[in-house]
Amino acid sequence: MTDTDNNKNLMPQHIAVVMDGNGRWANKRLLPRTAGHKAGVKSTRRIVELCARKGVRALTLFAFSSENWNRPEQEVSGLMSLFVSTLNSEITKLEQQGVRIRFIGDRSRFHDKLQHSIAQAENKTARNDLLQLNIAANYGGRWDIVNAARKLAQKIAEGELTPDQVTEESFAMELALADLPEPDLFIRTGGEQRISNFLLWQSAYSELYFTDTLWPDFDEEHFNDALLCYSKRQRRFGKTGKQIEEEQVKAV
């Protein structure tokens, strides 16, 4: 039991993770990059279980970016096969654990087999509500924003909306994850300190946490470190530190 387990207020409701470092994990062991991705699946399983156990409401994982198609064909096809086999082998367990799975991103580019596994996983777990697990696959933050803009433009063209009704609120409602609170905590493993086109809009006020730990090595202890770090942050949303402290006193 850690400090953060005891205090739900200090726990993020929604965590987003850029699961980076699989390739380097494999390189260090003189293994092919796909072995790193396979090892990464174990870490993914672990973080899902931890989030479910700790009462985190939503977890959004970056599995494949819209830019990852630029990788060598062999790696891309290895990743696609791994997605299908992982989905098929994990889905029953996820269903039993109370996890609801959803994919965000443009799935139309995936081959039929993967699209089928995705649809099946989403349908099978649709009634669960313990943890909302979002897998970003062929996802890009810019794609998400353009997609939302296109939907609003369509509504305007059909006379359903006027241009002055395009607000931050109506825009956000067309984005992926519109039904969830924005990520409180944004974790990136693997040592890089960048967003890489993940949740651009939704992470406007997320607390960023970067760690050198490679994704396959990211275990419970590393996760607890991230949670502890988060629990010590003061989220000000433009206000002063004093205002936040006063609000906290009033809330008790």
Q: Of the residues 27, 68, 147, 197, which is catalytic?
A: 68
Which one among 48, 62, 131, 223 touches ligand IPE, defined by CB under 6 A?
A: 62
**Judged by CB under 6 A, does residue 22 bind ligand IPE?**
yes
The answer to whether the beta carbons of residues 191 and 210 sit under 8 Å apart is yes
Structure token pair of residue 187: 């974790």
Give the nearest distance from C-beta 37 to ligand IPE in angstroms: 6
Residue with smaller CB distance to Mg ion, 137 or 175: 137
Paired sense of beta strands 14-18 and 185-188, if any: parallel
Give the nearest distance from C-beta 18 to Mg ion in angstroms: 8
CA R_g for the chain: 19
Q: Is residue 5 flagged as an active site residue?
A: no
Which one among 97, 196, 224, 231 touches ligand IPE, defined by CB under 6 A?
A: 196
The answer to whether the beta carbons of residues 83 and 117 sit under 8 Å apart is yes
Give the nearest distance from C-beta 198 to ligand IPE in angstroms: 7
Stretch that binds Mg ion, among 17-25, 178-186, 202-210, 237-245 (CB under 5 A): 17-25
Residue with smaller CB distance to ligand IPE, 194 or 233: 194
> Residue 61: beta bridge partners?
17, 135
Residue with smaller CB distance to ligand IPE, 47 or 63: 63
Structure token pair of residue 165: 């009704």
**Judged by CB under 6 A, does residue 247 bind ligand IPE?**
no
Q: Within a 10 A sphere around the Cβ of 169, how many other Cβ atoms? A: 8
Q: How far apart are CA 170 and CA 173, in angstroms?
A: 5
Find where tokens 């396959």 sit.
216
How far separated are the first and last CA of the chain, in Å rounded? 24
Could you give the angle at which helices 73-97 and 112-124 cross, rounded to 10 degrees?
20
The answer to whether the beta carbons of residues 188 and 209 sit under 8 Å apart is yes
Stretch that binds Mg ion, among 12-20, 32-40, 47-55, 227-235 (CB under 5 A): 12-20
Give the nearest distance from C-beta 69 to ligand IPE in angstroms: 11
User: Which residues participate in catalysis according to the annotation?
Assistant: 20, 68
Contact residues toward ligand IPE (CB under 6 A) are 18-24, 62-65, 68, 79, 190, 192, 194, 196
Contact residues toward Mg ion (CB under 5 A) are 20
